[in-house]
Amino acid sequence: MSEQRIGGTTGSAQIPNRTTHITGWGHEVPAATLTNADLEKIVETSDEWITTRTGIRERRIASKGETTASMGALAAARALAVAGIKADDVDLIVVATLTPDHLMPSTAVLIKGALGSTRAAAFDLSAACSGFAYAYAVAHGFLTAGLGQRALVIGAETLSRSVDWSDRSTCVLFGDGAGAIVLEALDLEAGQGAASRPGTLSFELSADPSGAYALWIPGGVGEGADPLIKMDGAKTYVYATRTMAAVATAAIERAGLTPAQVDLVIPHQANIRIIEHVSKAISYPMEKIFVNLDKYGNTSAASIPIALSEAVAAGRLKPGDVFCTVAFGGGYTSGAFVTRWGADPAHGARAAIVDPASIRVVRPEGGAKADEPPAVLQAFLGRRHR
């Protein structure tokens, strides 16, 4: 088989009886929206066609000056505020993205600078739409190995600048945004089982390189190609439905739980048909699955942290609740993790203290191409919606 899978539980930590838990969360989306009606003016499509096949009604589009790093920095600042800590209390910043501002420096380094952090290690990773699950697992391993106490885990994307706006099969799917969490080390009491153990319970990651070019973006070093998304939709749908169900089931089983013991599932927000298929495959009711893709479309690595932030604000998670995230992405990659929520949802109000004007990402002299939205979208970017 070409698919490889790894997973783990808190029992595999290098420091015995240590896990991690989420103490802060936040997100940022652009103010400008692109509706299905707008897309009818760009490509041959219709609101009815898009909505019935994807569930998406609108998506957010980054305007000039809004970038992967700037949105990620603002989401991270809100997560820090919710956690009640400062940037220098963080030991690691890891950013999941497939749309970095530059090949170098990393988006994480730019975000570190914007936050005023002086001591955190910082790097990006790329696992496409599964990126946040991969970043969470990496940060969990870093903290349980004793390399630090706190990490910022960020998913941020500016997909509108990697979309072929003449390809109606892909341009209707994607949007921009960022989400972040603060993940902290947590020492457990001896003998705590899955029924009562707080924090991160398990994770599952997989990759199947047989689908590497079914969902991809060319334009690597020396390729000389436009870095625009290309997708075999039919093949990707089959992979997504099969693999999301498999990794979610595996992660729940590794946690020593059954689907009935999971209070909420937060899936990658790619397509409502995929989510409904996974719901049936794991015998999990749709009313216990958080969905916000109608507002944002597919924001790749940002979709799960944005959805998590909104789920908390909507009262869908309370202390003691167990939730499972699950994602698939180009590569083909997939990932899931299971966590028992412990934070006070009321702390989310602290995000409002962050002044967006105080979070500034350094740009190269003369600006950068990453700062500019596609010309075809300029007519739609004057509208604001929050």
Active site residues: 129, 268, 298
Rounded CA separation 43/40 (Å): 6
DSSP state of 225: -
Q: List the Cα angle 337/11/95 in 5-degree steps.
A: 40
Q: Residue 187 belongs to what H/E stretch? A: strand 176-187
- CA distances (Å), origin 59, targets 137, 198, 303: 28, 35, 12
Q: Report DSSP letters for 191-202, one per residue.
A: T--TTT--EEEE
Q: Report DSSP letters for 295-348, one per residue.
A: HH-B-GGGHHHHHHHHHHHTT---TT-EEEEEEEETTTEEEEEEEE--S-GGGG
Alpha helix (H) residue ranges in 156-302? 233-254, 272-281, 293-296
Length of the chain: 386
- Write the Ramachandran bin of 63: left for phi over 0, alpha for psi from -120 to 50, otherwise beta: beta
